[in-house]
A and B are shown apart, each in its own frame.
Chain A
Amino acid sequence: MSGTFVGMPAFPEAAREAVANKTLRGNLRHATHTIRAKRAKAVTEVSDWAELREAGKRIKDHTLRHLDRYLVQLEESVTAAGGVVHWAADATEANEIVSQLVKMTGESEVVKVKSMATQEIRLNEALEAEGIRAYETDLAELIVQLGKDRPSHILVPAIHRNRGEIRDIFSREMSEWGRPAPEGLTDTPAELAEAARLHLREKFLRAKVGISGANFMVAETGTLVVVESEGNGRMCLTLPETLISVVGIEKIVPTWRDLEVFLQTLPRSSTAERMNPYTSTWTGTTDGDGPSTFHLVLLDNGRTDTLADEVGRQALRCIRCSACLNVCPVYERAGGHAYGSVYPGPIGAILSPQLRGTGSEIDASLPYASSLCGACYEVCPVAIDIPEVLVHLRERVVQGGEVTREGNKVVLRPAKGHAAERAAMRAARWAFTHPGALRTGQRAASRTRRFHPRTLPGPGKAWSGTRDLPPVPAEPFRDWWQRTRGGKDGAR
């Protein structure tokens, strides 16, 4: 299991800090609103969006329902194409496999394509402990790495940084890692990108080992797919002699043809483009073209546990487009770091507590990091009902019940009086005292009302018996807000 970030406060505290940070909020608002508006336009260009979304959902559901079969088929086809398949039950095992593979090449540095899976298992740190330096090559990841920072968005991980900060980070840190930033570097995006180009090119050209994730794996053909914009992905996938891809087991699609759905919905949902600048596909190895050795590490790390949850398993449909982040009023305010995981925003709020369990305070509080407004569900290209899963997980945190952890059924005790109370109430209070963060709430009211009760179920009961809880009326949240506060004091 990959742990929580050390010392990570639970969502409400982290969010409170983030909300107080004006730069961060400004950057985030600008970013999420820009991408959101563009996305809406990109989607209307496609007349059959609803059908594509439904097909994407069905393909993923079908795959998950027969995941054992497709995993075996994928293994066969990758092997037949000249790749080597490894299986990793958890982060530790995945990191060991990758470290071993790198050591076998005799190299002590690797270039990396941005990958959520390797962030999830904290591969860079594990490699460093083995004396291997991992260079992030996505521009945003470079900014994060040089800034000794953490990513805050799935798609644009350095979105919390503005150009001035980026300039300072480059000028200060680049020389530590390789080619220094040019003298007199200004903060124009073109100059900053050029500095990154020169800095990283030096690494690409000498790299012998590349590490990537993948957006999709095709069971039928053994093909892996990486979708990107900058070309750093192509560099890492084709220049090195050895390529190691670490991919979550849920990333499978059954057939080649299935890509026709996702290659239409992913770019539009994610960068709001008709198509991202570069998509690479490779099937095993090809003589004389690209890496001569290819390893695929199939990662579980909590995914099978998630699969065991009949409501929560739909989170595994996620194609990491980040559309849900950009429409989420809570994310917009709190920023990605508040979620204490590589998966921020609405998807993070349902995925992290399932991958990691709800044992820690941050994971127990994540299902509350939402206003349940339903916007995330509306935009999700694979129709994950995030509010439904949030409500389900809240119930799990408060009431306990049977869950699967590392493959075993365990009975989760209701969160101890205090923990449940704290997690639920702080998050609720945070959300309810920040109405500016809450937008339309049409879906929230009726279906989730029982989870905003006047008395808490289970252990919270005694506590709530003597206190007032934030009430949630049956009417849509926004209407209620308008009516009760009439828009005054609406900013915070």
Chain B
Amino acid sequence: MNSRERILGRVRRALADVSRDDTPYEQAVARDYAREHGDRSVPETVDLLAENLADYRAIVHRTDAEGLAGLIAGLLEKRGSASVLVPPGLDEGWLASTGVTRVTDRAESTPQELDRVDSVVTACAVAIAETGTIVLDGSPDQGRRRITLVPDHHVCVVRVPGQVVSSVPQGLERLDPARPLTWISGPSATSDIELDRVEGVHGPRTLEVILVGDA
């Protein structure tokens, strides 16, 4: 008997005392918890996102479509970045105002190459206001998971209010489980040393989120 059969057999024997229950799963679990917490207008939800992002030490900026390219150029300059990673499907216009060297997100590039890049600019799939979370799903404007991990500076653009949801349940609903997802709430952090919070151990130590009006 192989281990698969052995384990499944043990599970079945272990459950011999449990009465058969064929309630379909949808009915087996009451979901009377809230779909979202609180009653907010759309602008209030965006404000809450900004507030919670900042609370977890992300740097939040707000602008409109016209201001975006200038803002990104300014952030890269202020940071002193010499190079920026660009996902293949990133809106060309976003980097129109900066002269910083672009590095394309390629499958062949080695982690060491990524490590030499200063900043990365991406879009996101959805942002969750109640938790201050942005979620990346590897779409062409977000790139491979590692490009937002290895460089020390991540600039993420969120279209508001279109990409903003209130809550975790609403966020999950919008996401495709088949894609690799990265949920980001603030920059990398640790509290392992006497519970003192230190930003940045392995992931980007600086996370800048730009909320851009898409109205």
Hey, which bits of chain A sit against chain B, CB under 8 A?
A: 27, 30-31, 34-35, 45-48, 51-52, 54-55, 58-59, 62, 65, 67-68, 71-72, 81, 87-89, 93, 137-140, 143, 156, 158-159, 162-163, 166, 189-190, 192-193, 196-197, 200-201, 204-206, 218, 221, 223, 229-232, 234-235, 237-239, 249, 254-261, 263-264, 271, 273-283, 286, 288-290, 298, 300, 304-305, 307-308, 310, 313, 404, 407
**B33 to chain A: which residues have CB within 8 Å?**
48, 51-52, 55, 261
A156 to B14, CA, bound (A): 34
CB <8 Å contact, B191 and A281: no
**B163 to chain A: which residues have CB within 8 Å?**
none
Contact of B181 among A156, A197, A280, A310 (CB under 8 A): A280
Given that A67-B15, A249-B7, A278-B182 are contacting pairs, would A51 and B32 also be in contact in the complex, using a CB cutoff of 8 Å? yes
CB <8 Å contact, A65 and B146: no
CB <8 Å contact, A87 and B111: no
Report if B92 contacts A (CB, 8 A): no
How many contacts between A and B, using CB within 8 angstroms?
A: 248
Closest 6 CB pairs of A and B: A231-B203, A304-B10, A308-B14, A231-B202, A51-B33, A275-B131
Listed by A's residue number, 13 A-B pairs whose Cβ atoms lie within 8 Å are A54-B30, A137-B202, A140-B192, A230-B203, A239-B111, A261-B33, A274-B56, A274-B185, A275-B185, A278-B188, A304-B11, A305-B14, A307-B15
Min CB–CB distance A22 → chain B (angstroms): 16
Min CB–CB distance A239 → chain B (angstroms): 5
CB <8 Å contact, B25 and A254: yes
Which residues of B131-165 are within 8 A (CB) of A? Answer: 131-133, 138, 144-146, 149-150
Given that A238-B146, A290-B145, A308-B13 are contacting pairs, would A162 and B168 also be in contact in the complex, using a CB cutoff of 8 Å? no
CB <8 Å contact, A65 and B21: yes
**A47 to chain B: which residues have CB within 8 Å?**
34, 37
A201 to B10, CA, bound (A): 42
**B189 to chain A: which residues have CB within 8 Å?**
229-230, 277
- Stretch from B63-71, B78-86, B172-180 contacting the other chain: B172-180
CB <8 Å contact, A89 and B29: no
Chain B residue with minimal CB distance to A65? B18
CB <8 Å contact, A271 and B191: yes
Chain B residue with minimal CB distance to A88? B3
Which residues of B1-42 are within 8 A (CB) of A? Answer: 2-4, 6-15, 17-18, 21, 25, 28-34, 37
CB <8 Å contact, B203 and A278: yes
CB <8 Å contact, B7 and A71: yes
CB <8 Å contact, B29 and A55: yes
Chain B residue with minimal CB distance to A409? B13
A308 to B8, CA, bound (A): 13
CB <8 Å contact, B52 and A48: no
**B178 to chain A: which residues have CB within 8 Å?**
81, 221, 283
CB <8 Å contact, A67 and B112: no
A166 to B7, CA, bound (A): 42
Report if B213 contacts A (CB, 8 A): no
Which of B17, B179, B191 has most chain A Cβ within 10 Å?
Answer: B191
CB <8 Å contact, B202 and A201: yes
CB <8 Å contact, A238 and B149: yes
Which of B7, B32, B144, B168 has most chain A Cβ within 10 Å?
Answer: B7
CB <8 Å contact, B52 and A274: yes
A41 to B173, CA, bound (A): 27
Contact of A298 among B7, B12, B14, B168 (CB under 8 A): B7
Report if B107 contacts A (CB, 8 A): yes
Range for the number of chain B residues in contact with chain A: 35 or more
**A238 to chain B: which residues have CB within 8 Å?**
144-146, 149, 180
CB <8 Å contact, B201 and A196: yes
Contact of A166 among B17, B111, B187, B193 (CB under 8 A): B193
CB <8 Å contact, A190 and B194: no
A62 to B21, CA, bound (A): 10
CB <8 Å contact, B7 and A281: no
Given that A47-B34, A62-B25, A260-B172 are contacting pairs, would A27 and B194 also be in contact in the complex, using a CB cutoff of 8 Å? yes
Contact of A234 among B7, B37, B145, B173 (CB under 8 A): B145
A466 to B183, CA, bound (A): 62
Chain B residue with minimal CB distance to A282? B180
Min CB–CB distance B19 → chain A (angstroms): 9
CB <8 Å contact, B177 and A221: yes
CB <8 Å contact, B30 and A230: no
A261 to B34, CA, bound (A): 10
A223 to B179, CA, bound (A): 9
Min CB–CB distance A276 → chain B (angstroms): 7
CB <8 Å contact, A234 and B203: yes
Min CB–CB distance B200 → chain A (angstroms): 7
CB <8 Å contact, B169 and A260: yes
CB <8 Å contact, B17 and A310: yes
**B183 to chain A: which residues have CB within 8 Å?**
275, 278-281
CB <8 Å contact, A274 and B194: no
Which residues of B101-117 are within 8 A (CB) of A? Answer: 107, 110-112, 115
Report if B198 contacts A (CB, 8 A): yes
Report if B190 contacts A (CB, 8 A): yes
Min CB–CB distance A299 → chain B (angstroms): 9
**A204 to chain B: which residues have CB within 8 Å?**
111, 202
A237 to B146, CA, bound (A): 9
Report if B215 contacts A (CB, 8 A): no
Given that A62-B29, A277-B203 are contacting pairs, would A407 and B180 also be in contact in the complex, using a CB cutoff of 8 Å? no
CB <8 Å contact, B177 and A218: yes
**B111 to chain A: which residues have CB within 8 Å?**
204-206, 239
Given that A87-B2, A274-B131, A280-B181 are contacting pairs, would A290 and B144 also be in contact in the complex, using a CB cutoff of 8 Å? yes
Chain B residue with minimal CB distance to A237? B145
Min CB–CB distance A33 → chain B (angstroms): 10
CB <8 Å contact, B145 and A289: yes
A332 to B191, CA, bound (A): 18
- Given contacts A67-B11, A304-B11, 17 further A-B pairs with CB under 8 A are A62-B28, A138-B192, A189-B198, A197-B202, A204-B111, A229-B189, A231-B204, A234-B202, A234-B203, A238-B149, A273-B185, A275-B131, A277-B187, A289-B144, A289-B180, A407-B6, A407-B10
Min CB–CB distance B211 → chain A (angstroms): 18
Min CB–CB distance A433 → chain B (angstroms): 30
A457 to B3, CA, bound (A): 39
